[in-house]
Amino acid sequence: MTLTEAWKHVLNRVKEAVADSDHPFRFVALATIDKNKRPQQRTVVLRDFSEESTFMIYTDSRSDKVGEIRESDSASLLFYDDKEKLQLRVTGRASIVKAGEEYKRHWDNGGSSSPHSYTSVVTPGSKIENPDEAFNWHLESTPNFCLVKIEAVRMEFLQLDGVRHIRSEKIIRNREEILHWLAP
Protein backbone atom coordinates (compact mmCIF):
# COMPACT_ATOMS: atom_id res chain seq x y z
CA MET A 1 0.00 0.00 0.00
CA THR A 2 1.30 3.48 -0.88
CA LEU A 3 1.18 6.45 1.50
CA THR A 4 -1.44 8.08 -0.70
CA GLU A 5 -3.63 4.97 -0.69
CA ALA A 6 -3.31 4.61 3.08
CA TRP A 7 -4.40 8.22 3.70
CA LYS A 8 -7.25 7.91 1.21
CA HIS A 9 -8.62 4.99 3.21
CA VAL A 10 -8.33 6.81 6.55
CA LEU A 11 -9.91 10.05 5.32
CA ASN A 12 -12.71 8.11 3.61
CA ARG A 13 -13.56 6.73 7.05
CA VAL A 14 -13.85 10.33 8.31
CA LYS A 15 -16.13 11.27 5.37
CA GLU A 16 -18.37 8.26 6.03
CA ALA A 17 -18.79 9.35 9.67
CA VAL A 18 -20.34 12.68 8.66
CA ALA A 19 -23.21 10.85 6.99
CA ASP A 20 -23.50 7.82 9.30
CA SER A 21 -24.56 8.42 12.90
CA ASP A 22 -23.49 4.86 13.87
CA HIS A 23 -19.97 5.24 12.48
CA PRO A 24 -17.11 4.77 14.98
CA PHE A 25 -15.58 8.09 13.87
CA ARG A 26 -18.85 9.95 14.47
CA PHE A 27 -17.97 10.73 18.09
CA VAL A 28 -14.59 12.34 18.55
CA ALA A 29 -12.64 13.71 21.52
CA LEU A 30 -11.96 17.43 21.12
CA ALA A 31 -9.11 18.82 23.22
CA THR A 32 -8.53 22.51 23.90
CA ILE A 33 -6.28 24.45 26.28
CA ASP A 34 -7.88 26.27 29.22
CA LYS A 35 -6.81 29.58 30.76
CA ASN A 36 -4.51 27.74 33.21
CA LYS A 37 -2.80 26.06 30.21
CA ARG A 38 -4.34 22.73 31.15
CA PRO A 39 -5.74 20.41 28.46
CA GLN A 40 -9.52 19.93 28.45
CA GLN A 41 -11.24 17.17 26.49
CA ARG A 42 -14.84 16.35 25.71
CA THR A 43 -16.77 14.10 23.31
CA VAL A 44 -18.41 15.87 20.36
CA VAL A 45 -20.18 14.86 17.14
CA LEU A 46 -18.33 15.25 13.85
CA ARG A 47 -20.69 17.32 11.66
CA ASP A 48 -18.64 18.01 8.55
CA PHE A 49 -15.30 17.29 6.94
CA SER A 50 -14.11 19.28 3.91
CA GLU A 51 -11.01 19.94 1.82
CA GLU A 52 -9.46 16.77 3.31
CA SER A 53 -8.36 18.77 6.37
CA THR A 54 -11.20 20.87 7.87
CA PHE A 55 -13.38 19.38 10.61
CA MET A 56 -16.65 20.94 11.84
CA ILE A 57 -18.39 20.61 15.22
CA TYR A 58 -21.60 22.26 16.50
CA THR A 59 -21.79 23.72 19.97
CA ASP A 60 -23.26 26.35 22.31
CA SER A 61 -21.29 29.61 22.17
CA ARG A 62 -21.59 29.96 25.97
CA SER A 63 -19.76 26.66 26.59
CA ASP A 64 -16.26 26.57 28.10
CA LYS A 65 -14.72 25.15 24.94
CA VAL A 66 -15.69 28.28 22.99
CA GLY A 67 -14.07 30.57 25.56
CA GLU A 68 -10.98 28.38 25.51
CA ILE A 69 -10.73 28.51 21.72
CA ARG A 70 -11.15 32.28 21.74
CA GLU A 71 -8.14 32.46 24.11
CA SER A 72 -5.98 29.82 22.39
CA ASP A 73 -6.68 28.42 18.94
CA SER A 74 -4.69 25.20 19.50
CA ALA A 75 -6.95 22.16 19.39
CA SER A 76 -6.76 18.47 18.74
CA LEU A 77 -9.17 15.73 17.75
CA LEU A 78 -8.86 12.03 18.54
CA PHE A 79 -10.77 9.43 16.52
CA TYR A 80 -10.79 5.70 17.23
CA ASP A 81 -12.39 2.86 15.29
CA ASP A 82 -12.44 -0.17 17.57
CA LYS A 83 -13.43 -2.62 14.82
CA GLU A 84 -10.63 -1.60 12.44
CA LYS A 85 -8.24 -0.80 15.33
CA LEU A 86 -7.59 2.50 13.59
CA GLN A 87 -6.62 5.67 15.46
CA LEU A 88 -6.49 9.14 13.89
CA ARG A 89 -4.95 12.09 15.75
CA VAL A 90 -5.41 15.62 14.42
CA THR A 91 -3.80 18.82 15.66
CA GLY A 92 -4.83 22.16 14.26
CA ARG A 93 -6.15 25.67 14.60
CA ALA A 94 -9.69 26.09 15.88
CA SER A 95 -12.01 29.03 15.18
CA ILE A 96 -15.59 29.91 16.07
CA VAL A 97 -18.07 30.68 13.29
CA LYS A 98 -21.19 32.50 14.43
CA ALA A 99 -22.46 34.30 11.33
CA GLY A 100 -22.39 34.21 7.55
CA GLU A 101 -23.32 31.86 4.76
CA GLU A 102 -21.47 28.84 6.17
CA TYR A 103 -23.14 29.35 9.57
CA LYS A 104 -26.62 29.60 8.04
CA ARG A 105 -26.04 26.55 5.84
CA HIS A 106 -25.09 24.44 8.86
CA TRP A 107 -28.07 25.67 10.88
CA ASP A 108 -30.43 24.86 7.99
CA ASN A 109 -28.80 21.49 7.19
CA GLY A 110 -28.34 20.05 10.67
CA GLY A 111 -28.23 22.45 13.59
CA SER A 112 -31.95 23.18 13.48
CA SER A 113 -32.74 19.47 13.88
CA SER A 114 -31.35 19.47 17.45
CA PRO A 115 -32.14 22.96 18.81
CA HIS A 116 -32.32 21.72 22.40
CA SER A 117 -28.53 21.49 22.30
CA TYR A 118 -28.04 25.25 21.83
CA THR A 119 -31.05 27.08 23.27
CA SER A 120 -31.06 26.20 26.98
CA VAL A 121 -32.16 29.10 29.18
CA VAL A 122 -29.52 28.21 31.77
CA THR A 123 -25.93 28.66 30.60
CA PRO A 124 -24.12 25.32 30.07
CA GLY A 125 -21.83 24.47 32.97
CA SER A 126 -23.58 26.72 35.53
CA LYS A 127 -24.32 25.27 38.99
CA ILE A 128 -27.95 24.26 39.54
CA GLU A 129 -29.81 22.71 42.49
CA ASN A 130 -31.61 20.10 40.42
CA PRO A 131 -31.30 18.73 36.80
CA ASP A 132 -34.90 19.89 36.09
CA GLU A 133 -33.76 23.52 36.28
CA ALA A 134 -31.88 23.04 33.00
CA PHE A 135 -34.86 21.58 31.09
CA ASN A 136 -36.05 24.89 29.73
CA TRP A 137 -35.27 26.08 26.19
CA HIS A 138 -35.72 29.15 23.96
CA LEU A 139 -36.65 27.01 20.96
CA GLU A 140 -37.77 29.96 18.82
CA SER A 141 -34.30 31.55 18.65
CA THR A 142 -30.75 30.37 17.93
CA PRO A 143 -28.33 32.98 19.32
CA ASN A 144 -26.07 30.42 21.00
CA PHE A 145 -25.66 28.00 18.10
CA CYS A 146 -22.13 28.17 16.70
CA LEU A 147 -19.66 26.17 14.67
CA VAL A 148 -16.22 25.09 15.79
CA LYS A 149 -13.98 24.74 12.76
CA ILE A 150 -10.70 22.87 13.15
CA GLU A 151 -8.19 23.27 10.34
CA ALA A 152 -5.62 20.52 10.59
CA VAL A 153 -1.91 21.28 10.50
CA ARG A 154 -0.87 17.73 11.31
CA MET A 155 -2.60 14.37 11.20
CA GLU A 156 -1.32 11.00 12.24
CA PHE A 157 -2.88 7.58 11.92
CA LEU A 158 -1.99 4.28 13.53
CA GLN A 159 -3.43 1.07 12.10
CA LEU A 160 -2.91 -1.88 14.40
CA ASP A 161 -2.43 -5.15 12.52
CA GLY A 162 -1.09 -8.03 14.57
CA VAL A 163 2.53 -7.06 15.01
CA ARG A 164 2.90 -5.29 11.65
CA HIS A 165 1.31 -1.99 12.65
CA ILE A 166 1.26 0.93 10.22
CA ARG A 167 1.76 4.54 11.29
CA SER A 168 2.00 7.68 9.17
CA GLU A 169 1.92 11.45 9.52
CA LYS A 170 0.64 14.15 7.23
CA ILE A 171 1.90 17.70 7.66
CA ILE A 172 -0.14 20.43 6.00
CA ARG A 173 1.65 23.68 5.26
CA ASN A 174 0.35 26.42 2.91
CA ARG A 175 -2.12 23.90 1.43
CA GLU A 176 0.78 21.54 0.61
CA GLU A 177 0.95 18.11 2.20
CA ILE A 178 4.02 16.20 3.30
CA LEU A 179 3.49 12.51 4.05
CA HIS A 180 5.81 10.18 5.95
CA TRP A 181 5.72 6.65 7.25
CA LEU A 182 6.58 6.50 10.95
CA ALA A 183 7.77 3.59 13.04
CA PRO A 184 4.80 2.48 15.12
Residues within the interface to ligand FMN (CB under 6 A): 27, 40, 42-45, 57-60, 63-65, 124-125
Which of 94, 90, 89, 45 lies closest to 65, judged by CA?
94
Q: To the nearest whole angstrom, how small is the minimum distance from the Cβ of residue 59 to ligand FMN? A: 3
- Nearer residue to ligand FMN within complex by CB, 6 or 147: 147
Beta strands in 7-73 (DSSP E): 27-33, 39-45, 48-50, 54-60
Instruction: State which amino acid sits at residue 143.
Output: P
Q: To the nearest whole angstrom, how small is the minimum distance from the Cβ of residue 169 to ligand FMN? A: 27
Which of 66, 111, 84 lies closest to 9, judged by CA?
84
- Nearer residue to ligand FMN within complex by CB, 52 or 67: 67
Burial of 86 (0-12, 13-18, 19+ CB in 10 A): buried
How many degrees, rounded to 5, is the angle at CA 169 between CA 166 and CA 174?
Answer: 160
- Nearer residue to ligand FMN within complex by CB, 53 or 63: 63
Q: To the nearest whole angstrom, how small is the minimum distance from the Cβ of residue 86 to ligand FMN? A: 19
Q: To the nearest whole angstrom, how small is the minimum distance from the Cβ of residue 90 to ligand FMN? A: 16
- Nearer residue to ligand FMN within complex by CB, 6 or 146: 146
